[in-house]
A and B are shown apart, each in its own frame.
Chain A
Amino acid sequence: MRALLAATLVTLSSVAALPRAAGQGRGGPAGAGAAAKASAAMDMTGYWVAYVTEDWRFRMVTPRKGDYQAVPMTEQARKTADAWDPAADEASGNQCRAYGAAAIMRVPARFHITWQDDNTLRVDSDSGMQTRLFHFNSPPAPPGERTWQGYSTAQWQRPASLKVATTNMRSGYLRKNGVPYSENAAVTEYFDIAPLPSGGQVLMVTAIVDDPQYLQQPFIVSSQFLKEADGSKWDPTPCSAK
């Protein structure tokens, strides 16, 4: 009977501690305050390479003007895209328009993820040589100059996911052939890591781009990256508009 009583008390005490854990289990955010690095829900650090099994012809080669298949563009977006001029972008110093936060994870690239400090996760790309900073325990974007990568706030989602929200971007391209997003666009991303059955790890990034000016509905794509052992294939290459 004592054993039964003890087991019951243990179970009840476990149940009493459940509300917080259950909230996490349903994808709730991790508690604020603790340093993000120390309380990381998963280890994203290392080198990841884009594994282009989807949208190959839109990502690995620059699509021709007018080839906008599957993007829910507004009429205004279509007109803007039809005026795409990569030479003009190069000449005006806007060759990184297709490397902004709303599109960079679709770029065929390698990504190096590191902790810049205890509350900032840093994501560098070799293609386009871009740097994203994911700020944990941070308020929304402070007013400031818009940049290609904007300002990103991050939050662990228990048990093992990362949510990143990005605003304050310069206007850019969802696809390299001029499919536009505006400076008022907002990007929400979810990062998940899965094991590959045959060994190795895959990082999946689900990106949701909201932009009432250029999109009829949120643009949702998911991209896969394979973990690499080291940076031996890291190949920094500047942005190219073509």
Chain B
Amino acid sequence: MGSNAVQCKMSRSTIAKLAAVSLCLLACWTAAAQMEITGSWAGRNHEFLTGDGLPVDFTGIPLNEEGRIRALSYSESQLSMIERQCQGWPPFYFVQGPFGLKIWSETDPLKGNVISYTIGAWEDRPPIAVWMDGRPHPSKYAEHTRAGFTTGAWEGNTLVTYTTHIKAGFLRKTGAPSSDQATMTARFYRHGDILTVLAIIEDPIYLAQPFLVSRSFQVSATPLSPIGPPCVSTYEGNTGETAPHYLPEKNPFVDEMTAKYGVPRDAAIGKPETLYPEYRRKISPVAPVR
């Protein structure tokens, strides 16, 4: 009886240890099924993502009518207004700007799981915290910020993030607008030393269709240091009595893309039908030599 009791106790103890070890192994495997995305990623700027070479370049952005009117009313002199100086750096900018990425994680010291990833700030773009601990997004009435509020989860070995609570700003620095209802779903694909991020931006106020942007980064052998601080507004001579803008049909730059690159006006002002191959049948294929 006493011997059985000891055996039973040992068995329970052994099984408990085995269970603990196996659960630990399972947890390790779960992490292994994911990809390491932390570290320094150098930007590979082989696509002209910023698209801010000319004032009216909304090519590739599927603006709706309201978005187009708003975009064409934009004057770059608005950047002299304190409250608008930072609108060019929403979270989307991390896949549009020329910079690399510095990503790090915060982990639970006891369980080892990732609580959050941080995509470091760069120049005027604020850092983006990606919460991985299952917390919900805040109330729709909560504060909207330049970085927004982002949660993330792994789908297989793809990190999928979802950003809401973004302060109204730009889809592109040429003034294509984004509203405070815009959201961004981003998917991080790692293939070897290449990290490609696909950002799907939706905005019920200014977009007719999702705006897709993707960008690749490459592992950097040298560390990238996130720098800031994020955009800080300063007085630049505008007392706030006027908001520089163009009235409808009065934007003087609306045909610059046509004159310089042979891009039709409909494409320059972001009409959704211009994003599909069949639109090429409507246009002259060769840009003028200037």
Which residues on the A side are within 8 Å of B33 (C-beta)?
A: 21-22, 25-26
Which of A134-142, A145-153, A219-227 binds B?
A219-227
How does the 8 Å CB contact mask read for A19-38 relative to B, with 1 for contact and 0 for none? 00110011100000000000
**Cβ of A167 < 8 Å from any Cβ of B?**
no
**Cβ of B79 < 8 Å from any Cβ of A?**
no
Contact of B29 with A127 in the complex, beta carbons under 8 Å: no
Q: Select which of B22, B156, B212, B263 is within 8 A of A61 by beta carbon.
A: B263
Contact of A52 with B210 in the complex, beta carbons under 8 Å: no
How does the 8 Å CB contact mask read for B183-203 relative to A, with 1 for contact and 0 for none? 101010111101010101010
Using A54-B49, A224-B198 as known contacts, say yes or no to A14 and B15 having CB atoms under 8 A apart. Answer: no
**Cβ of B48 < 8 Å from any Cβ of A?**
yes
Residue of B nearest to A7 (CB): B19
In angstroms, Cα B280 to Cα A69, docked, is 22
Q: Select which of B46, B210, B213, B288 is within 8 A of A64 by beta carbon.
A: B288
Q: How far is the CB of B244 from chain A (nearest CB, A)?
A: 27
**Cβ of B143 < 8 Å from any Cβ of A?**
no
Q: How far is the CB of A223 from chain B (nearest CB, A)?
A: 8
Contact of B22 with A11 in the complex, beta carbons under 8 Å: yes
In angstroms, Cα B192 to Cα A218, docked, is 14
Interface of chain A residues 100 through 148 with chain B (CB within 8 A): 108-110, 126-127
Contact of A204 with B277 in the complex, beta carbons under 8 Å: no
Using A51-B212, A61-B287, A159-B157 as known contacts, say yes or no to A22 and B275 having CB atoms under 8 A apart. Answer: no
Contact of A161 with B189 in the complex, beta carbons under 8 Å: yes
In angstroms, Cα B187 to Cα A22, docked, is 21
Contact of A70 with B47 in the complex, beta carbons under 8 Å: yes
Using A50-B277, A206-B189 as known contacts, say yes or no to A72 and B46 having CB atoms under 8 A apart. Answer: yes
Which residues on the B side are within 8 Å of A70 (C-beta)?
A: 45-48
In angstroms, Cα B62 to Cα A233, docked, is 20
Contact of B59 with A8 in the complex, beta carbons under 8 Å: no
**Cβ of A239 < 8 Å from any Cβ of B?**
no
How does the 8 Å CB contact mask read for A50-68 relative to B, with 1 for contact and 0 for none? 1111111110111111010
Contact of B46 with A190 in the complex, beta carbons under 8 Å: no
In angstroms, Cα B20 to Cα A12, docked, is 10
Contact of B198 with A202 in the complex, beta carbons under 8 Å: yes
Contact of B19 with A56 in the complex, beta carbons under 8 Å: no
In angstroms, Cα B158 to Cα A160, docked, is 9
Q: How far is the CB of B27 from chain A (nearest CB, A)?
A: 10
In angstroms, Cα B157 to Cα A57, docked, is 34
Which residues on the A side are within 8 Å of B232 (C-beta)?
A: none
In angstroms, Cα B22 to Cα A196, docked, is 37
* Interface hub of B18, B32, B47, B211 (most chain A Cβ within 10 A): B47
Contact of A221 with B29 in the complex, beta carbons under 8 Å: no
Residue of B nearest to A108 (CB): B277
How does the 8 Å CB contact mask read for B242-265 relative to A, with 1 for contact and 0 for none? 000000000000000100011100
Residue of A nearest to B12 (CB): A1
Which residues on the A side are within 8 Å of B278 (C-beta)?
A: 233, 235
Which residues on the B side are within 8 Å of A161 (C-beta)?
A: 189, 191
**Cβ of B141 < 8 Å from any Cβ of A?**
no
Contact of A26 with B157 in the complex, beta carbons under 8 Å: yes
Q: Select which of A110, A220, A242 is within 8 A of B216 by beta carbon.
A: A220
In angstroms, Cα B210 to Cα A148, docked, is 33
Q: Select which of B48, B183, B218, B277 is within 8 A of A127 by beta carbon.
A: B277
In angstroms, Cα B280 to Cα A146, docked, is 30
**Cβ of B10 < 8 Å from any Cβ of A?**
no
In angstroms, Cα B288 to Cα A65, docked, is 9
**Cβ of A88 < 8 Å from any Cβ of B?**
no
Residue of A nearest to B183 (CB): A197
**Cβ of A184 < 8 Å from any Cβ of B?**
no
Q: Select which of A53, A67, A192, A219 is within 8 A of B60 by beta carbon.
A: A53
Contact of B60 with A159 in the complex, beta carbons under 8 Å: no
In angstroms, Cα B45 to Cα A34, docked, is 38
Contact of B187 with A198 in the complex, beta carbons under 8 Å: no
In angstroms, Cα B285 to Cα A127, docked, is 13
In angstroms, Cα B183 to Cα A127, docked, is 33
19 contacts between A and B (CB under 8 A): A18-B32, A22-B32, A26-B33, A27-B192, A51-B212, A54-B47, A54-B214, A69-B48, A70-B45, A190-B189, A194-B198, A194-B200, A196-B200, A204-B198, A204-B214, A220-B44, A222-B196, A222-B214, A224-B212
Please report B residues at the A interface, Cβ cutoff 8 Å: 11-12, 15-16, 18-19, 22-23, 25-26, 29, 32-35, 44-49, 59-62, 156-158, 183, 185, 187, 189-192, 194, 196, 198, 200, 202, 210-216, 218, 257, 261-263, 267, 274-280, 283-290
